[in-house]
Amino acid sequence: MSLLMHTLHVELGERSYPVYIGRDLLADPQLLGGHIAGSQVVIVSNATIAPLYMDRVRAGLGPDKRITEVILPDGEQYKSLATLSDIFDEVMAAGHNRTTTFVALGGGVVGDITGFAAACYQRGVNFIQIPTTLLAQVDSSVGGKTAVNHPLGKNMIGAFHQPVAVLIDTNTLQTLPPRELAAGMAEVIKYGLICDEPFYRWLQQHMHRLLAREEAALAEAIERSCGNKAAVVSVDEREGGLRAILNLGHTFGHAIETAQGYGEWLHGEAVAVGMLLALELSAQRGMIPVAEVAGLRALLQTSGLPVDPPADMTAANFLELMARDKKVVDGRLRLVLLEAIGRACIVDDADERELVELLETSVKD
Ligand code: NAD
Ligand code: GLY
């Protein structure tokens, strides 16, 4: 029996949608089937996740749908234009029309590429997110950012396209490899840092329960994270202002991911190191106490996340890759820093000298 614990709402006028959080939700026909408008469905998943969960999703769609399954190879390197084209080949060959609904069954890679495919197919069709990693459940499935990577930069080709529903079945986390669970924890910690100090302090106390995959603790962390994300996205859907705080640590993190080659460092691992660098810079500027940097370092280590940049990356590597980031506006790098735990701010006045000081200290650590 399914157990729906929470329903959140992303409030975006006519594009508003529910985020369902609970146990065994996948096969519940009331939830999934209720958000499919026509009779055609495209389920996009990958070769790792489909054998685990595809049957349950098919059951949740009921008997009367015409379903095309598109199974992608597993890996960040397949979040590409070439894979996108493969998806369209299969969907076109199966004759899907504009009433079709795309369903993303998987982590952030499947979610991002499926969302972008849905944004483009016949100029935009409905899609539903069924995220199966912690990272996707707390971040990528909510908010409508969809994209594929380009060899010169991550997520450089994409669109804002909101899902019509997000269905988070917390049970799927039981099969997630520990390293992937830890990577998702980086984004969970991010919400505490940027906008929810009580949640951050809760995480410092309860991380062991999350790592032990205690159902109640996971549901609490997912709900708090999605609630914070929904609140930010409802105010600033297209990242004209506030939404940029969700990128804490991402400018440094994307540099790491690009330098190492997609897939070597997990996104959440790169974000973990990036968040620590952002807090170090905040402390270097006297904005937060140095003790909070040590506190974050300890929490990341407890979570099984890296805290040091890759040994082979120099300050010059970081600066070159960060200059290409999407968050560079008119030649000025925009960074998310903290004024306090739970209060993020955006700065665009970081100069090369202070970044070199920061990065050279961290790279030497
Ligand atoms: P992922 O999608 O690569 O999944 C990680 C691994 O876990 C894969 O091997 C996958 O097959 C496997 N997996 C997934 N669910 C599983 C399960 N329940 N049991 C066993 N194995 C499972 O990685 P991710 O961390 O979920 O997502 C990273 C991607 O998300 C990046 O491309 C990043 O750019 C993107 N992202 C997007 C947003 C956004 O707002 N759109 C936000 C954050 C990250
Ligand atoms: N993950 C950042 C955002 O959704 O804006």
In a domain, 282, yes or no: yes
Q: Confirm if 365 and 280 have CB atoms less than 8 A apart.
A: no
Backbone angles phi, psi at 154, to 5 degrees: -75, 140
Q: Is 201 tagged catalytic?
A: no
Catalytic pick from 23, 56, 190, 267? 267
Residues 203 and 288 occupy one common structural domain? yes
Q: Is 145 tagged catalytic?
A: yes
Q: Is 250 tagged catalytic?
A: yes
Enter the pTM of the model: 0.95
* Residues contacting 36, CB < 8 A, separation 6+: 61, 65, 101, 126, 128
Q: How many domains does the chain have?
A: 2
159-166: average pLDDT: 98
Of 172, 201, 219, the last residue of a domain is 172
Q: What is the pLDDT of residues 329-357, one digit of tens each?
A: 677 899 999 999 999 999 999 999 999 99
Q: Confirm if 221 and 229 have CB atoms less than 8 A apart.
A: no
Catalytic pick from 190, 254, 297, 327? 254
Residues 250 and 165 occupy one common structural domain? no
Distance CA(299)–CA(106), nearest Å, equals 27
Q: Residue 277: give the domain boundaries.
A: 178-361
Q: Is 208 tagged catalytic?
A: no
In a domain, 1, yes or no: no
Residues 232 and 288 occupy one common structural domain? yes
- Is the CB of 76 within 6 Å of ligand 1? yes
Q: What is the pLDDT of residues 126-149, one digit of tens each?
A: 999 999 999 999 999 999 999 999
Residues 182 and 166 occupy one common structural domain? no
Residues 151 and 196 occupy one common structural domain? no
Catalytic pick from 76, 187, 237, 269? 187
CA–centroid distance, 72 to ligand 1, in Å, is 13
Ligand closest to the CA atom of residue 241: 2
Q: The CATH number of the domain where 152 resides is what?
A: 3.40.50.1970
Q: What is the pLDDT of residues 45-98, one digit of tens each?
A: 999 999 999 999 999 998 899 999 999 999 989 999 999 999 999 999 999 999
CA–centroid distance, 339 to ligand 1, in Å, is 30
